[in-house]
């Protein structure tokens, strides 16, 4: 549970995401999606309850659990004056990677996120789509087993959104991926299953074989 004064933003939700799964976290604005992801990422402490990341207690073992997570916030904060590889090097250093591991990690992240042609450019010069790729590269540079992605395709044009979604599906083959969205077709295209959150509670869990009925489930909750 997470409360902000008298307001309960997240209320007693419980779910698991396993390695090899991409789980969509779907809900209207104000449903509790971002608050939940911030708690999982260790940016917020829950008012009550526990969070476990790969067996680590996210509160009691905060440093160890955060090392297992790659987090892309909705606002994707980036240092725009830095070049792409310079920024990724800074992120790797913040994650405690050695110099030798950093070079390999940056090369891997740049390749996976399709950043080779802009690797030496300042982030502030990049399009929205490339900035999202840089944010994803920063989230995976330390090769975490868990990825938390908050509205990763927000503000992208259709082609850019398709590319980011393709990358998420690829990453989901080996990692546990939870990504929030309010775009139903995106969730149906990319996810192993969907969790629908409404007014801070998990209102429905839709398995992959039933994702076609996601519109009906969502419409019934928000009508």
pLDDT digit string, tens, across residues 96-145: 999 989 999 999 999 999 999 999 999 999 999 999 999 999 999 999 99
What is the SS3 assignment for 12?
Answer: coil
Write the pLDDT tens digit of every residue in 48-64: 998 988 888 887 788 88
d(CA 94, CA 70): 13
In degrees and rounded to multiples of 5, residue 90 shows phi and psi of: -65, -45
Domains within the chain, CATH numbers bracketed = 1-68+145-223 (3.40.50.300), 77-143 (no CATH)
Question: Is residue 148 helix, strand or coil?
Answer: strand
Q: Is the pTM of this model over 0.75?
A: yes
Q: Which of 199, 150, 172, 197 is nearest to 38 (CA)?
A: 150
Residue 66: enclosing H or E segment and its boundaries? helix 62-66
What confidence score (pLDDT) does residue 222 get? 65
- Work out the angle at residue 145's Cα, subtended by the Cα atoms of residues 202 and 32, and round it to the nearest 5 degrees: 25
């Amino acid at each position: 549970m997470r409360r902000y004064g008298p307001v309960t933003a997240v209320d007693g939700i419980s779910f698991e995401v396993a390695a090899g799964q991409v789980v969509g976290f779907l809900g209207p604005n104000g449903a509790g999606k971002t608050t939940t992801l911030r708690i999982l990422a260790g940016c917020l402490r829950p008012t009550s309850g526990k969070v476990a990341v790969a067996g680590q207690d996210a509160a009691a073992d905060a440093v160890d659990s955060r090392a297992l997570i790659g987090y892309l916030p909705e606002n994707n904060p980036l240092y725009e004056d830095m070049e792409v590889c310079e920024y990724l090097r800074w992120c790797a250093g913040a994650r405690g990677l050695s110099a030798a591991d950093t070079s390999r990690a940056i090369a891997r992240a740049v390749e996976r996120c399709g950043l080779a042609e802009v690797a030496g450019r300042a982030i502030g010069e990049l399009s929205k789509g490339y900035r999202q790729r840089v944010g994803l590269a920063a989230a995976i540079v330390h090769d975490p087993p868990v990825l938390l992605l908050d509205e990763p395709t927000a503000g992208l044009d259709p082609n850019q959104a398709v590319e980011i979604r393709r990358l998420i599906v690829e990453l989901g083959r080996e990692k546990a991926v939870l990504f929030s969205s309010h775009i139903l077709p995106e969730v149906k295209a990319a996810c192993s299953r969907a969790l629908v959150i409404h007014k801070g509670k998990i209102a429905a869990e839709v398995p992959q074989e039933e994702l076609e009925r996601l519109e009906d489930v969502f419409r019934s909750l928000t009508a």
